[in-house]
Protein backbone atom coordinates (compact mmCIF):
# COMPACT_ATOMS: atom_id res chain seq x y z
CA UNK A 1 0.00 0.00 0.00
CA UNK A 2 2.81 2.40 0.85
CA UNK A 3 4.53 1.78 -2.49
CA UNK A 4 1.27 2.44 -4.38
CA UNK A 5 0.83 5.76 -2.56
CA UNK A 6 4.35 6.79 -3.56
CA UNK A 7 3.41 6.29 -7.21
CA UNK A 8 -0.19 7.63 -7.23
CA UNK A 9 0.48 10.78 -5.24
CA UNK A 10 2.76 12.41 -7.90
CA UNK A 11 0.25 11.46 -10.61
CA UNK A 12 -2.59 13.00 -8.61
CA UNK A 13 -0.57 16.19 -8.16
CA UNK A 14 0.02 16.44 -11.91
CA UNK A 15 -3.67 15.95 -12.74
CA UNK A 16 -4.78 18.51 -10.15
CA UNK A 17 -2.21 21.08 -11.30
CA UNK A 18 -3.12 20.54 -14.94
CA UNK A 19 -6.86 20.89 -14.22
CA UNK A 20 -6.43 24.12 -12.28
CA UNK A 21 -4.21 25.61 -14.98
CA UNK A 22 -6.67 24.63 -17.74
CA UNK A 23 -9.71 26.07 -15.98
CA UNK A 24 -7.94 29.35 -15.20
CA UNK A 25 -6.69 29.63 -18.80
CA UNK A 26 -10.18 29.11 -20.28
CA UNK A 27 -11.90 31.54 -17.90
CA UNK A 28 -9.44 34.42 -18.18
CA UNK A 29 -8.77 34.04 -21.92
CA UNK A 30 -12.53 34.03 -22.72
CA UNK A 31 -13.19 37.06 -20.52
CA UNK A 32 -10.37 38.99 -22.18
CA UNK A 33 -11.53 37.98 -25.67
CA UNK A 34 -15.12 39.16 -25.04
CA UNK A 35 -13.91 42.41 -23.50
CA UNK A 36 -11.47 43.39 -26.28
CA UNK A 37 -12.83 41.74 -29.49
CA UNK A 38 -16.11 42.85 -31.11
CA UNK A 39 -15.62 41.31 -34.59
CA UNK A 40 -17.08 37.78 -34.74
CA UNK A 41 -14.70 36.59 -37.47
CA UNK A 42 -11.66 37.85 -35.61
CA UNK A 43 -13.03 36.34 -32.42
CA UNK A 44 -13.17 32.91 -34.07
CA UNK A 45 -9.61 33.25 -35.33
CA UNK A 46 -8.52 34.34 -31.86
CA UNK A 47 -10.06 31.21 -30.33
CA UNK A 48 -8.10 29.02 -32.76
CA UNK A 49 -4.85 30.80 -31.94
CA UNK A 50 -5.72 30.58 -28.24
CA UNK A 51 -6.12 26.80 -28.60
CA UNK A 52 -2.70 26.48 -30.22
CA UNK A 53 -1.15 28.63 -27.51
CA UNK A 54 -2.92 26.55 -24.86
CA UNK A 55 -1.48 23.35 -26.27
CA UNK A 56 2.02 24.83 -26.36
CA UNK A 57 1.85 26.37 -22.89
CA UNK A 58 0.30 23.27 -21.30
CA UNK A 59 2.93 21.12 -23.02
CA UNK A 60 5.68 23.21 -21.45
CA UNK A 61 3.78 23.24 -18.16
CA UNK A 62 3.36 19.45 -18.15
CA UNK A 63 7.01 18.95 -19.10
CA UNK A 64 8.30 20.80 -16.04
CA UNK A 65 5.72 19.26 -13.70
CA UNK A 66 6.47 15.75 -14.97
CA UNK A 67 10.22 16.35 -14.83
CA UNK A 68 10.00 17.55 -11.23
CA UNK A 69 7.83 14.66 -10.08
CA UNK A 70 9.73 12.02 -12.04
CA UNK A 71 12.96 13.28 -10.49
CA UNK A 72 11.39 12.76 -7.06
CA UNK A 73 10.28 9.27 -8.10
CA UNK A 74 13.78 8.44 -9.32
CA UNK A 75 15.28 9.73 -6.07
CA UNK A 76 12.84 7.60 -4.05
CA UNK A 77 13.53 4.55 -6.21
CA UNK A 78 17.27 5.11 -5.86
CA UNK A 79 16.87 5.41 -2.09
CA UNK A 80 14.78 2.24 -1.93
CA UNK A 81 17.30 0.39 -4.09
CA UNK A 82 20.14 1.51 -1.85
CA UNK A 83 18.25 0.44 1.26
CA UNK A 84 17.56 -2.95 -0.30
CA UNK A 85 21.03 -3.61 -1.72
CA UNK A 86 23.51 -1.80 0.55
CA UNK A 87 24.35 -2.14 4.23
CA UNK A 88 23.29 0.92 6.24
CA UNK A 89 26.32 0.76 8.56
CA UNK A 90 29.19 0.19 6.12
CA UNK A 91 27.59 1.30 2.80
CA UNK A 92 28.94 -1.91 1.26
CA UNK A 93 26.73 -4.12 -0.94
CA UNK A 94 24.70 -6.33 1.37
CA UNK A 95 23.58 -9.94 1.50
CA UNK A 96 20.86 -9.41 -1.11
CA UNK A 97 23.35 -7.93 -3.56
CA UNK A 98 25.71 -10.81 -2.86
CA UNK A 99 23.11 -13.46 -3.70
CA UNK A 100 21.97 -11.64 -6.83
CA UNK A 101 25.53 -11.10 -8.09
CA UNK A 102 26.58 -14.67 -7.34
CA UNK A 103 23.55 -15.98 -9.20
CA UNK A 104 24.45 -13.78 -12.16
CA UNK A 105 28.07 -15.01 -12.08
CA UNK A 106 27.06 -18.64 -11.94
CA UNK A 107 24.49 -18.29 -14.73
CA UNK A 108 26.61 -15.98 -16.88
CA UNK A 109 27.35 -18.54 -19.58
CA UNK A 110 24.38 -20.86 -19.20
CA UNK A 111 22.72 -19.59 -22.39
CA UNK A 112 25.71 -20.65 -24.46
CA UNK A 113 26.05 -23.98 -22.61
CA UNK A 114 29.53 -22.98 -21.44
CA UNK A 115 30.63 -23.44 -17.85
CA UNK A 116 30.68 -20.26 -15.79
CA UNK A 117 34.12 -18.85 -15.03
CA UNK A 118 35.60 -20.14 -11.77
CA UNK A 119 35.86 -17.83 -8.77
CA UNK A 120 36.49 -18.01 -5.03
CA UNK A 121 34.55 -16.74 -2.04
CA UNK A 122 36.27 -15.61 1.18
CA UNK A 123 34.08 -15.54 4.31
CA UNK A 124 35.60 -13.21 6.95
CA UNK A 125 34.35 -13.55 10.52
CA UNK A 126 35.44 -11.11 13.24
CA UNK A 127 34.69 -13.49 16.08
CA UNK A 128 35.42 -11.32 19.12
CA UNK A 129 33.47 -8.12 18.37
CA UNK A 130 30.87 -9.14 20.98
CA UNK A 131 33.45 -8.71 23.73
CA UNK A 132 34.06 -5.10 22.64
CA UNK A 133 30.37 -4.23 22.50
CA UNK A 134 29.79 -5.75 25.93
CA UNK A 135 32.65 -3.76 27.46
CA UNK A 136 32.45 -0.43 25.62
CA UNK A 137 29.00 -0.40 24.07
CA UNK A 138 27.45 -1.10 20.69
CA UNK A 139 28.60 2.20 19.15
CA UNK A 140 32.26 1.27 19.70
CA UNK A 141 31.72 -2.02 17.92
CA UNK A 142 29.92 -0.30 15.05
CA UNK A 143 32.73 2.23 14.64
CA UNK A 144 35.25 -0.60 14.45
CA UNK A 145 33.17 -2.45 11.86
CA UNK A 146 33.01 0.70 9.71
CA UNK A 147 36.81 1.08 9.90
CA UNK A 148 37.32 -2.53 8.84
CA UNK A 149 34.83 -2.11 5.98
CA UNK A 150 36.55 1.04 4.77
CA UNK A 151 39.94 -0.66 5.00
CA UNK A 152 38.78 -3.69 3.01
CA UNK A 153 37.19 -1.47 0.38
CA UNK A 154 40.30 0.70 0.07
CA UNK A 155 42.70 -2.24 -0.22
CA UNK A 156 40.81 -5.02 -1.98
CA UNK A 157 37.88 -3.59 -3.93
CA UNK A 158 38.82 -3.90 -7.60
CA UNK A 159 37.67 -5.17 -10.95
CA UNK A 160 38.57 -8.72 -9.86
CA UNK A 161 37.28 -8.50 -6.29
CA UNK A 162 33.88 -7.47 -4.91
CA UNK A 163 33.34 -6.86 -1.19
CA UNK A 164 30.06 -7.43 0.63
CA UNK A 165 28.78 -6.89 4.15
CA UNK A 166 27.24 -10.26 5.02
CA UNK A 167 26.25 -9.73 8.63
CA UNK A 168 27.20 -7.19 11.27
CA UNK A 169 30.68 -8.61 11.92
CA UNK A 170 31.04 -10.72 8.80
CA UNK A 171 32.25 -9.83 5.31
CA UNK A 172 32.49 -11.72 2.06
CA UNK A 173 35.05 -11.10 -0.67
CA UNK A 174 34.52 -12.65 -4.11
CA UNK A 175 37.65 -13.02 -6.26
CA UNK A 176 37.37 -13.73 -9.98
CA UNK A 177 39.50 -16.46 -11.59
CA UNK A 178 41.30 -17.33 -8.34
CA UNK A 179 40.84 -20.98 -7.36
CA UNK A 180 44.35 -22.43 -7.07
CA UNK A 181 44.94 -23.51 -3.45
CA UNK A 182 48.27 -21.75 -3.17
CA UNK A 183 46.79 -18.56 -4.57
CA UNK A 184 43.97 -18.78 -2.05
CA UNK A 185 46.38 -19.32 0.84
CA UNK A 186 48.51 -16.37 -0.28
CA UNK A 187 45.43 -14.16 -0.56
CA UNK A 188 44.19 -15.20 2.89
CA UNK A 189 47.58 -14.30 4.39
CA UNK A 190 47.48 -10.93 2.64
CA UNK A 191 44.06 -10.18 4.15
CA UNK A 192 45.11 -11.31 7.63
CA UNK A 193 48.32 -9.28 7.48
CA UNK A 194 46.44 -6.23 6.26
CA UNK A 195 43.92 -6.36 9.13
CA UNK A 196 46.65 -7.03 11.70
CA UNK A 197 48.54 -3.96 10.48
CA UNK A 198 45.58 -1.79 11.55
CA UNK A 199 46.23 -2.92 15.12
CA UNK A 200 50.00 -2.76 14.90
CA UNK A 201 49.94 0.75 13.43
CA UNK A 202 47.48 2.00 16.04
CA UNK A 203 44.64 2.69 13.60
CA UNK A 204 42.36 0.51 15.73
CA UNK A 205 42.69 0.00 19.48
CA UNK A 206 41.11 -3.43 19.71
CA UNK A 207 42.84 -6.62 18.59
CA UNK A 208 40.67 -8.64 16.24
CA UNK A 209 40.46 -12.41 15.90
CA UNK A 210 39.76 -12.88 12.20
CA UNK A 211 38.78 -16.27 10.78
CA UNK A 212 38.63 -16.81 7.02
CA UNK A 213 36.72 -19.65 5.38
CA UNK A 214 37.32 -20.14 1.65
CA UNK A 215 35.05 -21.79 -0.93
CA UNK A 216 35.67 -22.34 -4.64
CA UNK A 217 33.18 -22.38 -7.48
CA UNK A 218 32.26 -24.90 -8.72
CA UNK A 219 34.16 -27.36 -6.47
CA UNK A 220 32.65 -26.20 -3.17
CA UNK A 221 29.10 -25.68 -4.40
CA UNK A 222 27.01 -25.00 -7.46
CA UNK A 223 24.90 -22.11 -6.15
CA UNK A 224 25.22 -19.09 -3.88
CA UNK A 225 23.72 -20.80 -0.81
CA UNK A 226 26.02 -23.81 -1.09
CA UNK A 227 29.14 -21.68 -1.61
CA UNK A 228 28.47 -19.46 1.40
CA UNK A 229 27.63 -22.46 3.60
CA UNK A 230 30.84 -24.17 2.50
CA UNK A 231 32.93 -21.10 3.36
CA UNK A 232 31.27 -20.80 6.77
CA UNK A 233 31.84 -24.49 7.46
CA UNK A 234 35.51 -24.08 6.52
CA UNK A 235 35.82 -21.17 8.97
CA UNK A 236 34.34 -23.33 11.76
CA UNK A 237 36.94 -26.03 11.01
CA UNK A 238 39.92 -23.77 11.61
CA UNK A 239 42.51 -25.25 13.96
CA UNK A 240 43.11 -22.35 16.32
CA UNK A 241 46.70 -23.19 17.19
CA UNK A 242 47.61 -23.38 13.51
CA UNK A 243 46.25 -21.03 10.82
CA UNK A 244 43.44 -18.48 10.84
CA UNK A 245 42.02 -19.63 7.52
CA UNK A 246 40.76 -22.84 6.01
CA UNK A 247 39.86 -23.94 2.47
CA UNK A 248 36.67 -25.98 2.24
CA UNK A 249 37.10 -29.71 1.75
CA UNK A 250 34.28 -32.18 1.14
CA UNK A 251 35.33 -34.17 4.22
CA UNK A 252 34.21 -31.20 6.34
CA UNK A 253 30.68 -31.64 5.02
CA UNK A 254 30.79 -35.40 5.59
CA UNK A 255 32.02 -34.88 9.16
CA UNK A 256 29.28 -32.32 9.77
CA UNK A 257 26.67 -34.66 8.34
CA UNK A 258 27.91 -37.48 10.55
CA UNK A 259 27.87 -35.15 13.56
CA UNK A 260 24.27 -34.11 12.96
CA UNK A 261 23.16 -37.70 12.33
CA UNK A 262 24.85 -38.92 15.51
CA UNK A 263 23.32 -36.07 17.51
CA UNK A 264 19.88 -37.00 16.20
CA UNK A 265 20.36 -40.71 16.94
CA UNK A 266 21.89 -39.99 20.34
CA UNK A 267 18.61 -38.52 21.57
CA UNK A 268 16.89 -41.88 21.37
CA UNK A 269 19.85 -44.13 22.21
CA UNK A 270 19.16 -44.31 25.98
CA UNK A 271 15.46 -44.99 25.47
CA UNK A 272 16.21 -47.68 22.88
CA UNK A 273 18.75 -49.43 25.10
CA UNK A 274 21.63 -48.95 22.67
CA UNK A 275 24.29 -48.18 25.31
CA UNK A 276 26.42 -50.86 26.95
CA UNK A 277 29.06 -50.73 29.65
CA UNK A 278 32.43 -52.30 29.04
CA UNK A 279 34.90 -52.88 31.86
CA UNK A 280 38.67 -52.36 31.76
CA UNK A 281 40.55 -53.99 34.65
CA UNK A 282 43.00 -52.08 36.82
CA UNK A 283 45.92 -54.32 37.77
CA UNK A 284 47.75 -54.17 41.10
CA UNK A 285 51.49 -54.34 40.39
CA UNK A 286 53.11 -53.54 43.74
CA UNK A 287 52.63 -57.06 45.13
CA UNK A 288 54.03 -58.93 42.09
CA UNK A 289 50.79 -60.90 41.75
CA UNK A 290 49.29 -58.70 39.05
CA UNK A 291 45.77 -59.23 40.31
CA UNK A 292 42.71 -57.23 39.32
CA UNK A 293 42.01 -54.60 41.95
CA UNK A 294 39.10 -52.91 40.24
CA UNK A 295 37.56 -51.95 36.94
CA UNK A 296 36.70 -48.79 35.08
CA UNK A 297 33.23 -48.69 33.54
CA UNK A 298 33.45 -47.38 29.98
CA UNK A 299 30.39 -46.62 27.87
CA UNK A 300 29.96 -47.99 24.37
CA UNK A 301 27.21 -47.24 21.87
CA UNK A 302 25.88 -50.11 19.79
CA UNK A 303 24.36 -48.08 16.98
CA UNK A 304 21.67 -50.00 15.03
CA UNK A 305 23.32 -49.28 11.65
CA UNK A 306 26.86 -48.09 12.40
CA UNK A 307 27.72 -50.84 14.85
CA UNK A 308 29.94 -50.12 17.85
CA UNK A 309 30.58 -46.37 18.18
CA UNK A 310 33.51 -45.33 20.39
CA UNK A 311 33.09 -42.63 23.06
CA UNK A 312 35.57 -40.40 21.22
CA UNK A 313 32.92 -39.98 18.51
CA UNK A 314 29.84 -39.29 20.63
CA UNK A 315 30.81 -37.97 24.09
CA UNK A 316 31.66 -34.50 22.75
CA UNK A 317 28.32 -34.42 20.91
CA UNK A 318 26.55 -35.44 24.10
CA UNK A 319 28.27 -32.65 26.05
CA UNK A 320 27.52 -29.99 23.45
CA UNK A 321 23.84 -30.99 23.30
CA UNK A 322 23.52 -31.44 27.11
CA UNK A 323 22.51 -35.08 26.60
CA UNK A 324 25.52 -36.03 28.72
CA UNK A 325 23.47 -35.59 31.89
CA UNK A 326 20.90 -38.16 30.84
CA UNK A 327 23.61 -40.51 29.56
CA UNK A 328 25.70 -39.96 32.70
CA UNK A 329 22.76 -40.88 34.94
CA UNK A 330 22.28 -44.07 32.94
CA UNK A 331 25.98 -44.99 33.26
CA UNK A 332 25.98 -44.50 37.02
CA UNK A 333 22.84 -46.54 37.58
CA UNK A 334 24.06 -49.31 35.29
CA UNK A 335 27.44 -49.41 37.08
CA UNK A 336 25.76 -49.49 40.52
CA UNK A 337 23.46 -52.26 39.35
CA UNK A 338 26.46 -54.26 38.09
CA UNK A 339 28.45 -53.74 41.30
CA UNK A 340 25.46 -54.89 43.35
CA UNK A 341 25.31 -58.02 41.21
CA UNK A 342 29.05 -58.67 41.71
CA UNK A 343 28.77 -58.15 45.47
CA UNK A 344 26.09 -60.84 45.62
CA UNK A 345 27.80 -63.13 43.12
CA UNK A 346 31.43 -63.00 44.24
CA UNK A 347 31.38 -61.57 47.76
CA UNK A 348 34.48 -59.58 46.86
CA UNK A 349 36.04 -56.15 47.33
CA UNK A 350 36.13 -55.49 43.60
CA UNK A 351 35.82 -51.74 43.07
CA UNK A 352 34.39 -49.89 40.09
CA UNK A 353 35.15 -46.41 38.77
CA UNK A 354 32.81 -44.19 36.74
CA UNK A 355 33.66 -41.09 34.73
CA UNK A 356 31.88 -37.80 35.42
CA UNK A 357 31.85 -35.06 32.78
CA UNK A 358 32.20 -31.38 33.74
CA UNK A 359 28.53 -30.77 32.93
CA UNK A 360 27.49 -33.44 35.38
CA UNK A 361 29.49 -31.77 38.13
CA UNK A 362 27.64 -28.49 37.47
CA UNK A 363 24.36 -30.28 38.28
CA UNK A 364 23.44 -29.26 41.83
CA UNK A 365 21.28 -32.35 42.34
CA UNK A 366 23.85 -34.85 41.05
CA UNK A 367 25.19 -36.00 44.42
CA UNK A 368 21.66 -36.44 45.80
CA UNK A 369 20.68 -38.68 42.87
CA UNK A 370 23.88 -40.71 43.27
CA UNK A 371 23.15 -41.15 46.98
CA UNK A 372 19.63 -42.39 46.22
CA UNK A 373 20.96 -44.87 43.65
CA UNK A 374 23.52 -46.24 46.11
CA UNK A 375 20.71 -46.82 48.61
CA UNK A 376 18.49 -48.38 45.96
CA UNK A 377 21.11 -50.98 44.97
CA UNK A 378 22.57 -51.38 48.49
CA UNK A 379 26.16 -51.07 47.38
CA UNK A 380 29.24 -50.38 49.47
CA UNK A 381 30.12 -46.78 48.65
CA UNK A 382 33.80 -47.21 49.42
CA UNK A 383 33.97 -49.47 46.34
CA UNK A 384 32.78 -46.68 44.04
CA UNK A 385 35.23 -44.19 42.57
CA UNK A 386 34.28 -41.22 40.39
CA UNK A 387 36.84 -40.06 37.85
CA UNK A 388 37.07 -36.41 36.77
CA UNK A 389 39.39 -34.70 34.31
CA UNK A 390 41.24 -31.40 34.53
CA UNK A 391 38.72 -29.88 32.10
CA UNK A 392 36.15 -29.93 34.88
CA UNK A 393 38.32 -27.52 36.86
CA UNK A 394 39.41 -25.00 34.26
CA UNK A 395 36.62 -22.47 34.82
CA UNK A 396 36.97 -22.64 38.65
CA UNK A 397 33.22 -22.99 39.16
CA UNK A 398 32.30 -23.46 42.79
CA UNK A 399 29.65 -26.03 41.82
CA UNK A 400 32.40 -28.45 40.81
CA UNK A 401 34.21 -28.43 44.15
CA UNK A 402 30.91 -28.50 46.01
CA UNK A 403 29.70 -31.61 44.16
CA UNK A 404 33.04 -33.37 44.68
CA UNK A 405 33.00 -32.59 48.42
CA UNK A 406 29.43 -33.88 48.68
CA UNK A 407 30.43 -37.15 47.01
CA UNK A 408 33.48 -37.42 49.24
CA UNK A 409 31.33 -36.89 52.35
CA UNK A 410 29.11 -39.73 51.15
CA UNK A 411 32.19 -42.04 51.32
CA UNK A 412 32.73 -42.26 47.56
CA UNK A 413 36.30 -42.00 46.24
CA UNK A 414 37.50 -39.39 43.73
CA UNK A 415 40.17 -39.87 41.04
CA UNK A 416 41.84 -37.20 38.91
CA UNK A 417 42.01 -38.73 35.42
CA UNK A 418 44.40 -37.94 32.53
CA UNK A 419 46.76 -36.03 34.82
CA UNK A 420 49.33 -34.19 32.72
CA UNK A 421 47.36 -34.20 29.47
CA UNK A 422 46.14 -30.61 29.74
CA UNK A 423 47.06 -27.61 31.84
CA UNK A 424 48.05 -29.59 34.91
CA UNK A 425 48.48 -27.75 38.15
CA UNK A 426 49.90 -29.28 41.30
CA UNK A 427 47.49 -27.06 43.21
CA UNK A 428 44.72 -29.45 42.15
CA UNK A 429 46.28 -32.11 44.37
CA UNK A 430 45.87 -29.96 47.46
CA UNK A 431 42.57 -28.26 46.58
CA UNK A 432 40.58 -31.29 45.48
CA UNK A 433 39.22 -34.08 47.69
CA UNK A 434 40.90 -36.75 45.54
CA UNK A 435 42.10 -40.23 46.51
CA UNK A 436 43.67 -41.37 43.23
CA UNK A 437 45.81 -39.79 40.54
CA UNK A 438 45.83 -41.36 37.09
CA UNK A 439 48.90 -40.55 34.98
CA UNK A 440 47.96 -39.87 31.39
CA UNK A 441 49.00 -42.41 28.77
CA UNK A 442 51.01 -39.74 26.91
CA UNK A 443 53.62 -39.96 29.70
CA UNK A 444 53.75 -43.76 29.49
CA UNK A 445 54.28 -43.62 25.72
CA UNK A 446 57.50 -41.61 26.29
CA UNK A 447 59.21 -43.83 28.86
CA UNK A 448 62.24 -44.06 26.58
CA UNK A 449 62.97 -40.45 27.54
CA UNK A 450 64.96 -40.39 30.80
CA UNK A 451 63.67 -36.92 31.67
CA UNK A 452 60.11 -38.19 31.34
CA UNK A 453 60.90 -41.02 33.77
CA UNK A 454 62.23 -38.48 36.28
CA UNK A 455 59.01 -36.51 35.95
CA UNK A 456 56.83 -39.60 36.49
CA UNK A 457 58.94 -40.64 39.46
CA UNK A 458 58.44 -37.21 41.01
CA UNK A 459 54.67 -37.34 40.45
CA UNK A 460 54.43 -40.79 42.05
CA UNK A 461 56.57 -39.84 45.07
CA UNK A 462 54.65 -36.63 45.61
CA UNK A 463 51.32 -38.43 45.32
CA UNK A 464 52.35 -41.11 47.81
CA UNK A 465 53.44 -38.46 50.30
CA UNK A 466 49.94 -37.01 49.96
CA UNK A 467 48.44 -40.49 50.52
CA UNK A 468 47.19 -40.73 46.95
CA UNK A 469 47.05 -43.95 44.99
CA UNK A 470 48.67 -43.74 41.53
CA UNK A 471 47.44 -45.51 38.41
CA UNK A 472 49.29 -45.44 35.08
CA UNK A 473 47.14 -45.51 31.95
CA UNK A 474 48.09 -46.89 28.55
CA UNK A 475 50.63 -49.57 29.55
CA UNK A 476 51.05 -51.67 26.41
CA UNK A 477 54.26 -53.69 26.78
CA UNK A 478 56.42 -55.46 29.35
CA UNK A 479 59.13 -52.77 29.34
CA UNK A 480 56.61 -50.13 30.37
CA UNK A 481 55.25 -52.46 33.05
CA UNK A 482 58.71 -53.08 34.55
CA UNK A 483 59.54 -49.37 34.65
CA UNK A 484 56.26 -48.56 36.40
CA UNK A 485 56.96 -51.31 38.94
CA UNK A 486 60.39 -49.84 39.65
CA UNK A 487 58.79 -46.43 40.11
CA UNK A 488 56.41 -47.91 42.70
CA UNK A 489 53.25 -47.20 40.74
CA UNK A 490 50.26 -48.83 42.48
CA UNK A 491 48.14 -49.97 39.56
CA UNK A 492 48.13 -49.92 35.79
CA UNK A 493 45.58 -49.99 33.00
CA UNK A 494 46.32 -50.85 29.41
CA UNK A 495 46.26 -53.33 26.58
CA UNK A 496 49.28 -55.19 27.96
CA UNK A 497 46.89 -56.97 30.30
CA UNK A 498 43.34 -56.21 29.17
CA UNK A 499 41.38 -53.89 26.94
CA UNK A 500 37.84 -52.85 27.87
CA UNK A 501 35.66 -55.97 27.90
CA UNK A 502 31.93 -56.77 27.81
CA UNK A 503 30.62 -57.91 31.19
CA UNK A 504 30.46 -61.60 30.26
CA UNK A 505 34.10 -61.69 29.10
CA UNK A 506 35.26 -59.81 32.17
CA UNK A 507 33.44 -62.19 34.51
CA UNK A 508 34.98 -65.15 32.71
CA UNK A 509 38.46 -63.74 33.41
CA UNK A 510 37.56 -63.22 37.07
CA UNK A 511 36.31 -66.77 37.48
CA UNK A 512 39.14 -68.46 35.56
CA UNK A 513 42.14 -66.54 36.91
CA UNK A 514 41.28 -64.95 40.21
CA UNK A 515 39.20 -67.58 42.03
CA UNK A 516 36.10 -65.43 42.28
What digits encode the pLDDT tens for the residues 417-432?
988 766 556 777 777 8
Position 40 pLDDT exceeds 70: no
| 227-231 LR contacts (CB < 8 Å, sep 24+) | 227/102, 227/121, 228/98, 228/121, 228/123, 228/166, 228/172, 231/121, 231/122, 231/123, 231/172
The Cα–Cα gap between 171 and 196 comes to 16
Domain ranges of the chain: 2-85, 95-248, 324-513
What is the CB neighbour count within 10 angstroms for residue 259?
Answer: 15
CATH architecture of 95-248: 2-Layer Sandwich (3.30)
Confidence of residue 180 (pLDDT cuts 50, 70, 90): very high
Share of the chain above pLDDT 70, in %: 84
234-267 per-position pLDDT tens digit: 999 987 655 689 999 999 999 899 889 999 999 8
Instruction: Please provide the DSSP assignment of 21-86 as one string.
Output: HHHHHHHHHHHHHHHH---HHHHHHHHHHHHHHHHHHHHHHHHHHHHHHHHHHHHHHHHHHHHHHB
Residue 498 near residue 280 (C-beta atoms within 8 A) = yes
Is the peptide bond preceding residue 496 cis, with omega within 30 degrees of 0?
no
pLDDT at site 385: 97
The model's confidence at residue 111, banded by pLDDT at 50, 70 and 90, is low
Give the residue, 417 or 46, on which the prediction is more confident.
417
- Average pLDDT on 112-133 reads 83
| CATH superfamily for domain 324-513 | EAL domain (3.20.20.450)
pLDDT in tens, 48-95: 666 667 677 777 776 777 777 677 767 777 777 777 889 989 999 999
Note whether 95-248 and 324-513 share their fold: no
Query: CA 390 to CA 381: how far, in whole Å?
Result: 24
State phi, psi for 174 to the nearest 5 degrees. -110, 120
Amino acid sequence: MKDNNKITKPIRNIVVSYSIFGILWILFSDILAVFFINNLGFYQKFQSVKGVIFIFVTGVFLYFILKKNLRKLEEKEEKLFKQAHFDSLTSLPNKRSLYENLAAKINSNSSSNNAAAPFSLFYLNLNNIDNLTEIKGHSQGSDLIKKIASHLEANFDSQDCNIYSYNYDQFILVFDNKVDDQELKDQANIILTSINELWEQGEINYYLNLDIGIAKFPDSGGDAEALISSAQLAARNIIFDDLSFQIYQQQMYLDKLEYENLKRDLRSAVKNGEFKLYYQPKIKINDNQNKIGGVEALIRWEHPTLGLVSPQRFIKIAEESSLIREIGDWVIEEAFKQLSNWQNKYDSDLSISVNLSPLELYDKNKSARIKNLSQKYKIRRELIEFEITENALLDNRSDTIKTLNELKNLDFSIALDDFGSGYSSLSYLSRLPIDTLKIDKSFIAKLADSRNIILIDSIINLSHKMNLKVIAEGVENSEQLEIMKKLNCDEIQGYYFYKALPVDQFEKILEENYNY
